[in-house]
Chain A
Amino acid sequence: MRTSPAWLLALALPACAAQRLVVPEPPSRVPTSIETHLEDVSITVDANFRGLGPYDHASQDPMIHSLSEYLRAYGPYRSVSRERPSPGAKVVPVSLELSIALDTDRSRTWILDVIAAYPFLGLFPFTPEWGEVSVAIIARPSIAELTEAGWRPRQQLTPIELTVKAAFSKLAYSWWRTEPEEDAYRRAYEMAFDELGRRLRRALERSVSAYRPEFEEEFAARSTRGPKPIEPKPKAPSRCSQTAVFISPVGAGFRPSFAATCREPPKIPDQEPTNPADSVSSPELDSANPKSANPGPNSSNPSEDRPLHTVSATRALAFADMSLDALGLTAPVVVPTSTTPASGSEAEPPQTEPTLEAPHPGLPHQSLDSESLTLAEPNEFFIDEPGLRILVRPVSRTDASLVERYLASLGGVEVSAFAGLASVQSSIHTETHPNEVVGSGKATSAGYRVSLYKPPDRTGFFFPASLGFLSEDVRIDGFLEEIPVAQIGGADTIGARITDPVTGEEDLEPINYFLRMRSGYLTQNIALSLVVGTDDVQFFWTGRAGINLFEIRHLEVDLATSTEQLTDVRGFLSGSAGTQIGIGIPALHAALRAAVDFEWHDQFEYPTPLDFLASSTYDEAEEIYFRERGRSDAVSLTAWNAQVSGVVLF
């Protein structure tokens, strides 16, 4: 059987696709000693993965098994599995429907790929690729009801939505390697499963305790009459879509109240609301309730019963995304969260309760108490890649002060040594010389410069606009050429000696003009930065190209006895490109870089056309060699600038 190249390609391509179902490491969390009262909860997991890769369909069971392990780590639960408990089991059945969407967003630089493929540069196999994997989980927990007839939801709890993104990058052989992407999925699953377990336990703690008396009543009834279906009762815990904090005046000032925006009035077993305003549970009300203010060992919701003085000061400002329908407000409210006791009578000393667990690395740690008073719990998480990597997000200093962050945004002070070369060129367009360069000139510059500079801190394409100014003083010269002398019969052809009539000195210079070129312009750039490194050391490369959208030009030409000048406005007649390479060491507040920039300004118009001489040609009619006199309308300028610099980073 013959194997065609197409077959080989078809076989090779799937090998480059990463697996997206990657079983994460087992949870390292050791269940804490806090009493959670969830030992009778039996969780039935039903997961639906979307966005699977070509190799993922056979591996869903291990993933669900791993997820169950993470959920169990936040127990103890009676069971966590895909199996439903039997109708007669004395458990609180919880159904957990999971929709897990997987996605990979990858970027690569085709520019560098092409450069790497070019065999004479030796950059193969340097083919960077970077991206982020995304694990988005929507979990719909519900307290179920087990009947002889089957399983049906008793109470749908607030869905838990989580998105965890993890970065990955590959510097070489990126078209073949899959493990960086798979590692990123592994890290994303770890965080997503862990966070899901944490939030699910918290949701169950609040809800199951409200149902427990009902369940116990059912268990008791079953034990005497046998199991029978129980109709869902309207008296159920609130379906709180989200929690809000708003301001309510108390005494001379304002103090925050704790509210829940609910679709149904919550029916806390121990507290029946008496009016619509009571459809929110408030610490004030709770604290007024002796049972709530002094939660006993059977308090089902210690977090909501906790007085305000336990609010973390780090939550100085909480942004309340309130349910406007329920609260009758039209705008979010910014609430200063106070550590002041709600009132003098409520000023009880802070209760010390055991925290549930140590925070997960990378996760914002909140105790359950503070979370219960907070609305904007993050639902999106990002995990950066450890070690040497392509940096797609800036390495942030979490300990930086506001001033330090401001200074860091400026970059640092750069001291550079630069050298520049500007070249100008004019052409004529005549019948004999359709497009001939008749004049050129060069100007050099060199020196030192001190400026502000910020090294690139992340990889990607950028589209910065910039303002620039060009100032070049340069002399443009025609060309010297010895004109052949053609002798003809019956005549004598004689060359000429050229002198300055003022000085009598021989003139050996070509035609020349002194030009003063100025241009202020607005540039739209496209830039590609590649930043590779660790948190401590970063190597960067940038390639940039830009077109000057708008330009104000001014050109002065010195003639023998006068100066002519022209100012005009042009667009899309100039541009620039550049590249830089460097290294940044934030820990040392230092960076080094080398850069080369190229500028190009086309059709810089002369105030009046300038004389130049073309190369010599033979005039058949006159039987003589001569240089055609041509007048050029404009000059073009190209400028190269190179610099090496050291930067002291703020």
Chain B
Amino acid sequence: MALAACGAESERPPIARLDEGPASIVVKNRSQYVLNEVRFHRSESYSGADSILSEQLSIGGEVVVRGTGWWYVTALREKNYGGPLRAYTTESPLGVAEGAGYTLMVYDEQFRLKQEPERRPPEPSDIILP
């Protein structure tokens, strides 16, 4: 059993171990904007984290990352057309259990982490979180 997310760090439940190896997280852009960057970072600050994207993630596009543990996720995009770049960071970290499969849907100003029945099979293009 895995917990998709939790509130305060002190309330984190233990990560269930479903399979061996890092979990698969399919990041889907369900927002109305093109995402310039998507960063996974362990602390609240996203300043030192690198983007997992090699190019902008189009509306409806997806990318698969593999990792385990607690992660904050930040999406960077234009606030509006021609407007300034803004960072949209999860208010709390997401818990990812080893061996599980997840889908992370990025909306305009919200995120939704959903656990899938199976982990996605590894692909060479998958991005491995540090």
Contact = CB atoms under 8 A, between A and B. Distances in A.
A628 B31 CA distance: 10
A514 to B, nearest CB: 12
Interface string A596-618: 00000000000011111000000
Given A496-B90, A511-B79, A631-B81, A491 B110 contact: no
Contact of A483 (B80, B81, B92, B110): B110
A627 interface: yes
Q: Interface majority SS on A: helix, strand, loop or mixed? A: strand
Interface in A103-135: none
B88 A491 contact: no
Interface stretch (A63-71, A350-358, A499-507, A642-650): A499-507
Given A511-B80, A610-B81, A611-B80, A494 B111 contact: yes
B112 A498 contact: no
A424 to B, nearest CB: 16
Given A490-B114, A491-B113, A496 B83 contact: no
Contact of A559 (B32, B45, B83, B94): B83
Contacts of A627: 108-109
Interface string B88-130: 1111101000000000010111111111000000000000000
B19 to A, nearest CB: 18
A500 B113 contact: no
24 contacts: A488-B112, A492-B5, A493-B111, A494-B92, A494-B113, A496-B75, A497-B90, A498-B87, A498-B88, A501-B76, A501-B85, A504-B47, A507-B79, A507-B86, A511-B79, A511-B83, A559-B82, A560-B82, A609-B81, A611-B83, A622-B30, A624-B107, A629-B32, A629-B108
B14 interface: no
Interface of A: 478, 483, 485, 488, 490-502, 504, 507, 511, 559-562, 564, 608-612, 622, 624-629, 631
B17 to A, nearest CB: 19
Given A559-B82, A560-B84, 9 more contacts: A485-B110, A492-B112, A495-B109, A496-B90, A496-B110, A507-B79, A560-B83, A611-B81, A611-B83
Contacts of A609: 81
A501 B51 CA distance: 13
Contacts of A478: 80
Given A496-B90, A497-B88, A504-B47, A624 B109 contact: no
Contacts of B5: 492, 494
A492 B70 CA distance: 14
A497 B91 contact: yes
Contacts of B75: 496
B35 interface: no
A495 B91 contact: yes
Contacts of A507: 79, 86
A498 B74 CA distance: 9
A627 B110 CA distance: 11
A493 B45 CA distance: 20
B25 interface: no
A499 B4 CA distance: 24
Contacts of A504: 45, 47
A494 B80 contact: no
A560 B5 CA distance: 35
Contacts of A631: 81
Nearest to B5: A492
Given A501-B76, A504-B47, A496 B82 contact: no
A493 B110 contact: yes
A496 B91 CA distance: 5
B4 A492 contact: yes
A626 B89 CA distance: 17
Interface of B: 4-5, 30, 32-33, 45-47, 75-76, 78-92, 94, 105, 107-115
Contacts of B91: 494-497
B112 A491 contact: yes
Given A501-B76, A611-B80, A496 B89 contact: yes
Nearest to B30: A622
The listed residue with most A CB atoms (<10 A of its CB), out of B80, B89, B115, is: B80
A504 B76 CA distance: 12
Contacts of B113: 491-492, 494
Contacts of A559: 81-83
Contacts of B76: 501
A501 B87 contact: yes
Contacts of B105: 622
A609 B80 CA distance: 11
Contacts of A499: 86-87, 89
B47 to A, nearest CB: 7
A632 to B, nearest CB: 11
A490 B47 CA distance: 31
A234 B45 CA distance: 123
The listed residue with most B CB atoms (<10 A of its CB), out of A493, A500, A564, is: A493
Contacts of A491: 4, 112-115
A354 B114 CA distance: 119
Contacts of B87: 498-501
A628 B46 CA distance: 27
A503 to B, nearest CB: 10
Contacts of A500: 84, 86-87
A566 to B, nearest CB: 14
B48 to A, nearest CB: 12
B81 to A, nearest CB: 4
B11 to A, nearest CB: 13
A440 to B, nearest CB: 15
A614 to B, nearest CB: 11
Nearest to A624: B107
A499 B90 CA distance: 11
A488 B103 CA distance: 14
B83 A494 contact: no
The listed residue with most B CB atoms (<10 A of its CB), out of A499, A610, A631, is: A499
A611 B30 CA distance: 18
